[in-house]
Amino acid sequence: MPEGPEIRRAADRIEQQIGGRAIDDAWFAFPELAEQAASFMGVRVTRVDTWGKAMLIRFADQRVLYSHNQLYGVWKLHSEDKPPSTKRTLRVRLSAEGRCASLYSASDISLWHAENLTEHPFLARLGPDLLSQDVAPSDVQQRLNLKQFHKRSLGALLLDQGLVAGLGNYLRSEILFCSQLPPSARPVDLTPEQQQTLAECIIDVTRQAYQTAGVTNREAWIAQAKAAGEPRRQWRFAVFERAGLECHRCGKVIERKMIGSRRLYLCPNCQSA
Ligand SMILES: [Zn+2]
């Protein structure tokens, strides 16, 4: 399942396709949206944002099209005269100057005014988005110390979209390794310095994954891993997918565990309790 960085890159592609352009055709499958289609004529797309796994297409008239792909939705970009060949059900098509963005299969689609967006029941539960909003390490550290989070183990907490939005399973392992913390550690157990390092790793690892299309390993370690013949799915990560291989930092063998019914990879030496 795509995590925040992958969704954010998909948003960038939609923005490149129709951003800054005036809509000349809008089509919606759901009746409550379809009846508003004509009102989009001539309205410019100003920005395409994400909030966690939600896509937010922002228009010049302050309206925002919210969509969440869940497990099956997919955006396809194409020219007006070459719609994609697919058996999927079309749900939204936005066309601007011959360029189209089409959403297939998703069912969670709604229209909001920018001012009311935070009242959306899904968005209202999310923490800030690390890739679309201005979030500093001190903001994350403050959130780690909130009453509802500070006594929870990091293995569970990092996947809670209420802390910060967009973290998923590979980022969880990579962030814990970067912070040199075990998944059992709780924010309340950490020194202020450890909390600060954790907050920095949460932001840095996520932003690196966004900028590099999913590579969260360090350059020097990537070079070593490539020299050892590791495939991309292993060298792109510092620990994730690397069970049985040596830790880049200390040489001990990386372990795979199930935490919260999801795979977690760690170095038992670098991340000892
Ligand atoms: Zn290690």
What angle (nearest 5°) sits at the alpha carbon of residue 153, between those of residues 152 and 154?
115
Assessment of whether the complete model's pTM goes beyond 0.85: yes
Cα of 270 from ligand 1 centre, angstroms: 4
- Catalytic residue of the set 8, 53, 93, 172: 53
Cα of 253 from ligand 1 centre, angstroms: 8
Q: What is the fold of 4-125?
A: N-terminal domain of MutM-like DNA repair proteins (3.20.190)
Please give the structure tokens belonging to residue 158: 């990092």
pLDDT for the residue numbered 112: 98
74 forms beta bridges with 104
Cα separation, 166 vs 6, whole angstroms: 9
pLDDT for the residue numbered 2: 82
In which residue ranges of the chain is CATH 3.20.190.10 found?
A: 4-125
Known catalytic residue at 53: yes
Cα of 242 from ligand 1 centre, angstroms: 12
pLDDT for the residue numbered 71: 85
Known catalytic residue at 2: yes
pLDDT for the residue numbered 167: 95
pLDDT for the residue numbered 192: 97
- Catalytic residue of the set 9, 262, 263, 268: 262
Please give the structure tokens belonging to residue 102: 């089409």
pLDDT for the residue numbered 214: 95
Q: What is the fold of 137-266?
A: Helicase, Ruva Protein; domain 3 (1.10.8)
Neighbouring residues of 48: CB distance < 8 A, sequence distance ≥ 6: 11, 12, 14, 15, 19, 55, 56, 57, 58
Q: What is the rounded radius of gyration, in angstroms, for the C-alpha atoms of the chain?
A: 21
Give phi and psi for 2, each to the nearest 5.
Answer: -65, 145
Cα of 248 from ligand 1 centre, angstroms: 7
Instruction: Give, as residue ranges, everything with CB less than 5 Å from ion ligand 1.
Output: 247, 249-250, 252, 267, 269-270
Q: What is the pLDDT along the chain (273 residues), one digit of tens a residue?
A: 789 999 999 999 999 999 999 999 999 999 999 999 999 999 999 999 999 999 999 999 999 999 999 888 999 999 999 999 999 999 999 999 999 999 999 999 999 999 999 999 999 999 999 999 999 999 999 999 999 999 999 999 999 999 999 999 999 999 999 999 999 999 999 999 999 999 999 999 999 999 999 999 999 999 999 999 999 999 999 999 999 999 999 999 999 999 999 999 999 999 997
In which residue ranges of the chain is CATH 1.10.8.50 found?
A: 137-266
